[in-house]
Structure 1
Amino acid sequence: MDIAFRRLLPYDTEPLVRFLTGESWPLHSVSEVDGDTARQWIAEGRFESEENRSFWILAPEEPVGLVRLMDLADDTPLFDLRLRAGHRGRGIGREAVTWLTRYLFEEFPHIRRIEGTTRQDNHPMRRVFLRCGYAKEAHYRDAWPDRDGTLHDTVGYAILRRDWLSGRVTLPRWDDEPDGRGPGR
């Protein structure tokens, strides 16, 4: 599928509100967004500010998703990816993460790594991370509360600039506990 990316513009407020409120986002920390909340987020600069940039994912001209880049002054920014339900499972997530990774490393020379987190049960996003060269770096138990109070594990992924440049993924050392001791030993 041919997709393009377009940065949010000031006149995108109402289309962005419709996008956020018109879908359920079951694997995001706020799964149901109402209009007042969406407008508050926009006014607070969550989507566009010195620290944040957001881009429509267009296929071909219709907004099918949104990429939000956060903490851009930091050397380790984060991102949020949202795809409309009818466009999930078509490879758009992989294309979007490939694009945002290249964009961040090329546009911001001070960035040395990019991080993202998802719920443990978000298997499609976890596959996207791995296919885009991100390494699993963290697993936080009972760290993502759901609307109903259920706690889910959160999984953290990152890509290093040097890995992106070389095309190789360097994995964290998971066997580095002192004296080979784990919990309770």
Structure 2
Amino acid sequence: MLERFLTDPEATGPFQWLGWSDPGRWRRRWAQDGLLSDEGGQLMVVTGADRLGFVAWRKVVTSRSSYCWNIGAQLLSEARGRGVGTQAQRLLTRYLFAHTPVVRLEADTEMGNIAEQRALEKSGFTREGVLRSTVFRDGQWRDVVRYSLLRDDIASARSPASDRPSAGGAGGERTA
């Protein structure tokens, strides 16, 4: 199923097709480390027996002694628009905060990918800004929007005594 994302432009959707890639790449990684390592990983998104896509994370070194995770999701076209990506990203963020010491998760998406921006906001991420000419796709450089979620954001959202508003507003704003 993952190989469809490397060989079928229709499966990837308008924002994920970056050109042809080696379809054997996933099988080699699976044989090497099960798609899980200290540098990142990939998990399949499933509902019942249906394989709908995957979520991934990769290490971003932020200083000599610290790092954060950059996360992403990719769903097959038939799984989009049903809240599957939002739920998968929520589960991934819980997993990463529960099992790794990071305090920051990041996610980048193309400016025009409004659905992914909304999914990130629904998952508690805060819009931080625009990174210009970051992704080369379909013959041109494209801007991306950077989002983040901090460990403290999760703790604040769970604390009933917290006076911090919940995350989720567009444009880096917090909304109640």
Q: Return the TM-score normalized by structure 1.
A: 0.71
CA distance in 1, matches of 2:77, 2:91: 20
The total of aligned residue pairs comes to 156
Letter in 1 for 2:109: T
Name which one, 1 or 2, has greater alpha-carbon Rg: 1
SS of residue matched to 1:154: strand
* Unpaired runs of at least 5, structure 1: 1-14, 175-185
Q: 2:105 matched to 1:114?
A: yes
CA distance in 1, matches of 2:43, 2:16: 18
The counterpart of 2:89, out of the listed 97, 103, 113, is 97
Q: 2:152 matched to which residue of 1?
A: 162
Q: Which is worse superposed, 161-170 or 29-38?
A: 29-38
CA distance in 1, matches of 2:133, 2:32: 29
Specify whether residues 52 and 103 from structure 1 end up closer, same or farther in structure 2 by C-alpha distance, changes over 3 A only: same
Identity %: 26
Q: Return the TM-score normalized by structure 2.
A: 0.75
Letter in 2 for 1:153: D
Contact map agreement 2:54 2:73 (CA 8 A) in 1: yes
Q: RMSD between aligned alpha carbons?
A: 2.9
Letter in 2 for 1:35: P
SS of residue matched to 2:68: coil
Q: 2:72 matched to which residue of 1?
A: 80
* Unpaired runs of at least 5, structure 2: 158-165
Deviation sequence 1:124-183 (CA, Å, 0-9, x none): 0000111111111120122222122x2221100000110111113399xx8xxxxxxxxx
Letter in 1 for 2:45: I
1:31-46 map, 5 Å: 31-36=19-24, 38=26
Q: 2:130 matched to 1:139?
A: yes
Q: 1:6 matched to which residue of 2?
A: none
Q: Which is worse superposed, 45-54 or 60-69?
A: 45-54
CA distance in 2, matches of 1:16, 1:68: 12
Which protein has the bigger strand share?
2
